[in-house]
Amino acid sequence: MPESGYLADIILPLLTEKLFTYRIPEELIPVAAPGMRVIVQFGQRKFYTGIIKTIHQNSSAEQEYKFITSIPDDKPLVNDYQLKLWDWIADYYMCSLGEVYKAALPSGLKLESESKIIYNQEYENPSTGNARLDTVLEIIRNHSAISISDLSRLTGKKECMSDVKNLLACNAIFLEEKLKETLKPKTERHVLLSELYHEENALNELFEHLNKSPKQKDVLLRYVELSNDDYSAGIPFKTLSATVSPSAINSLIKKNIFLLQVKDPSLENSTAVAKPVSLNPGQEKALHEIKNVFNENKVCLLHGVTSSGKTEIYIHLIQEMLLQGKQVLYLLPEIALTTQIIERLKKVFGERTGIYHSRFSDRERVNVYNNVLSGSEQGNGIVLGVRSSVFLPYSKLGLIIVDEEHENTFKQFDPAPRYHARDVAIVLAGFHKANVLLGTATPSVESWENCRSGKFGLVELKTRFGEIKLPKIVVANIKESKRKKNMKSVFTPTLLDEMEATISAGRQVILFQNRRGYSSFLECEVCGHIPKCKTCDVSLTYHRHTESIICHYCGYTRRVPGKCDQCQDTRITTRGFGTELVSDEIGLMFPHARVARLDLDSSRSVKSYENIIHDFASGKTNVLVGTQMLSKGLDFDNVGLVGILNADQMLNYPDFRAYERSFQLMMQVSGRAGRRAERGKVVIQTSDPANPIIRFVRDNDFQSFYKEQISERQTFNYPPFVRLIRISIRHKELNELIPAASSLSNSMRKIFGNRVLGPQEPIVSRIQSYYIRNILLKIEKKSSFEKARALLRSTIRDFQKENSGTLKILIDVDPA
């Protein structure tokens, strides 16, 4: 006989596949609904914020249910579209709903409890009779409420739970669960002069009037000073009170001469200037074609060469959507979401623009989330964001723009869900019956194929803005220069001559080298030993400025060894080269040129990134050396030359996408050459000038590139003609891993036959002490991918049952 009463299946931020069912207390039954947040106790003491997935009455007799502790909101935080999307992602990308939940909500909305240890003041006997316990108790007594992790840090012991338990047993302490501090909206008090006194005469009268209260007069004077003639903007209370008496300010507020405003500084926004965008005939035509594709309910791929003015078309489409009261999502890869584009859109759409970026604080992300949730009337009608912004609570999405569609940073790698934001966006748009526009100068092979097959519609924008000519591309043969012995450091004479000419003509140079650091690695000249990372299977990259060698996988850093670790000889050389070496060499060869470097090392902070860009844009620096960061949405006017220092490095990367990536990267970097002024030049250095990809780049030959790539992918069974799932299996012990990996691949072969490849040793076969083997599953397009995933899921489940939990298994669907 099932007990009556309502139950809720709750999504918790755990790795577990299953949901947990809680009983809804009587008084919460009227409020509880799917998508609402709940606070529940999980296990002995921990509290989590969960999300109600479903409400039902199917209680089972043998199951005990805990009650939901509380419901913090009065309406759902997650809407039905989102819940549907979470289900889709968990199923398609083969992860748990909890993992999707973790990725989907900003952490400010997922509060967790933390156990605090509290000293029992009533505890009579200060000694437990155990010396070590006494010292632990002393530490607890000296801290008012200490967390377990802090205690283990202070005692220097990893395991302090047993001590805590003992102390608990003799009543010396008790535990309290505290929800970590809720995000309070950040507020700033602003002081605003009443409008009555904005006018000159009235203000003078007021000054007269305040003659008797000199302190208040000071305040007014200071306000006038600070406001720069704009009395309506208001001054932060803090700023004003820095030099004048706060109590005098308060008296003025009481008299209603000053008004007090409470503002959230992160919501400060420029108001829309709302200039209508005018389009040139080419853009007009493209816009028309895009709409035709949308009318067929298809995804539209906008292939526009660099600086063909795609953004204006986006703005036009966004404006139309907003007029219809629909929401717009504008997705950009992380690196392309710069101040340049944000400012541009804010100018047009003002406070209706929400920015969702990982560099923004959690508070700001919570704000954007809530704004989108509140609907487009007063909330953000347009969201400009990185991949995770597909998770925001849209209720009436009309359009999704995926800019730089080909970018692989749209694919999340770690942790799960390993989703591709472009693909998720297409699914999300399907739920909302919204349109999708993919924009890029170098489409991904997948999207190109989707256009060829008729799944997507293709619109091309071929003319560059202002009739700027495509750059002239020259290929310089490194091999030949080496033979003739006329290489100077890493430069061929061709590149050097062009640099010389460009710099002396007062124009700028961009040099592209897709590797940071000084050299790739150090090598002992005597025994050939190469210093490697302790925990990862990679050689350490030499960084000259810090005189250190660094692991680019885990960040492990050590000083440059004075002598070889192996043979103790002091003759150690550097091999390969990175951006750091290139910029040093230029400093030597062109002593008058000002060189800057743009890579992960030089631009860790937003500020330094923007400074580097700004200095180059304003002509402060002449030469910019950088990694692929250079290729993303940066517009410079005076670049006369782009040099690609080593094309082979990218082309020879052992991955089926290496050619595609090289082509895209070279095309994108080349697009930086020659803007407003005359035609730019590009020099590509390579040892293999006959490589077809180099030819396609030189000839700007998209058609042949895609034709060749697509036939190659077809021949060798690679996406988009098959779907890939990569199963990565990891263990700290190699001799545990190898048999496990072959056992898993064998059981997979029983089901999938020769669709299973591997296990193979990846290029980086050990990361952070974990050895890695990969198994690849290729599912041809015509068979059911859904069924394949279900079979794989059960195979892995069975495998995990039979094997130890120390094996880590990670599944990557559509790996990048």
Binding site for DNA (CB under 7 A): 14-16, 18, 20-23, 41-46, 63-66, 112, 115, 132, 148, 157-159, 161-163, 165, 804-806
Classify 277 as helix, strand or coil: coil
Nearer to DNA by Cβ, of 20 and 521: the residue is 20
In the complex, minimum distance from the CB of residue 776 to DNA, in angstroms, rounded to a whole number: 24
In the complex, minimum distance from the CB of residue 15 to DNA, in angstroms, rounded to a whole number: 4
**CB contact burial 190-203 (16+ within 10 A = b; e otherwise):** bbbbbeebeeeeeb
Nearer to DNA by Cβ, of 129 and 591: the residue is 129
Is residue 393 a contact partner of residue 77, using CB atoms and an 8 Å limit? yes
Nearer to DNA by Cβ, of 163 and 599: the residue is 163
Q: What residue type is assigned to position 34 of the chain? A: P
In the complex, minimum distance from the CB of residue 5 to DNA, in angstroms, rounded to a whole number: 13
In the complex, minimum distance from the CB of residue 173 to DNA, in angstroms, rounded to a whole number: 14
Token pair, residue 263, equals 């503002």
In the complex, minimum distance from the CB of residue 161 to DNA, in angstroms, rounded to a whole number: 5
In eight-state DSSP terms, residue 532 is B
CA atoms 81, 82, 83, 86: torsion sign: positive
In the complex, minimum distance from the CB of residue 215 to DNA, in angstroms, rounded to a whole number: 53
In the complex, minimum distance from the CB of residue 101 to DNA, in angstroms, rounded to a whole number: 12
Nearer to DNA by Cβ, of 70 and 489: the residue is 70
Token pair, residue 463, equals 């003319």
For 807, half-sphere exposure in the C-beta direction (CA atoms, 13 angstrom radius) is: 23
In the complex, minimum distance from the CB of residue 52 to DNA, in angstroms, rounded to a whole number: 13
In the complex, minimum distance from the CB of residue 396 to DNA, in angstroms, rounded to a whole number: 35
Classify 262 as helix, strand or coil: strand
CA nearest 79: which of 397, 392, 424? 392
Phi and psi angles of residue 626, each rounded to the nearest 5 degrees, phi first? -160, 170
Nearer to DNA by Cβ, of 180 and 723: the residue is 180
β-pair partners for 420: 411
Rounding to the nearest 10 degrees, give the CA dihedral for residues 624, 629, 634, 637: 20
Nearer to DNA by Cβ, of 112 and 150: the residue is 112
Nearest-Å Rg of the Cα atoms of the chain is 31
**Contacts of residue 329, Cβ cutoff 8 Å, sequence gap at least 6:** 382, 383, 385, 389, 390, 392, 394, 397, 399, 400, 401, 425
CA nearest 323: which of 257, 267, 398, 272? 398
In the complex, minimum distance from the CB of residue 797 to DNA, in angstroms, rounded to a whole number: 13
In the complex, minimum distance from the CB of residue 109 to DNA, in angstroms, rounded to a whole number: 17
Nearer to DNA by Cβ, of 158 and 750: the residue is 158
Nearer to DNA by Cβ, of 65 and 718: the residue is 65
β-pair partners for 40: 48
**Contacts of residue 169, Cβ cutoff 8 Å, sequence gap at least 6:** none
d(CA 13, CA 85): 17
Nearer to DNA by Cβ, of 63 and 754: the residue is 63
Nearer to DNA by Cβ, of 43 and 753: the residue is 43
Is residue 70 a contact partner of residue 182, using CB atoms and an 8 Å limit? no
CA nearest 161: which of 118, 123, 131, 117? 117
Nearer to DNA by Cβ, of 44 and 715: the residue is 44
In the complex, minimum distance from the CB of residue 97 to DNA, in angstroms, rounded to a whole number: 14
β-pair partners for 603: none
Nearer to DNA by Cβ, of 148 and 470: the residue is 148
**Contacts of residue 624, Cβ cutoff 8 Å, sequence gap at least 6:** 508, 509, 510, 511, 595, 596, 597, 598, 612, 616, 630
β-pair partners for 115: 177
CA nearest 658: which of 702, 609, 713? 713
Nearer to DNA by Cβ, of 113 and 513: the residue is 113
d(CA 147, CA 528): 50
For 239, half-sphere exposure in the C-beta direction (CA atoms, 13 angstrom radius) is: 14
**CB contact burial 322-349 (16+ within 10 A = b; e otherwise):** beeebbbbbbbbbbbbbeebeeebbbbb
In the complex, minimum distance from the CB of residue 608 to DNA, in angstroms, rounded to a whole number: 33
In the complex, minimum distance from the CB of residue 46 to DNA, in angstroms, rounded to a whole number: 5
Residue matched to tokens 């968990």 = 90
Token pair, residue 475, equals 């290929």
Nearer to DNA by Cβ, of 115 and 774: the residue is 115
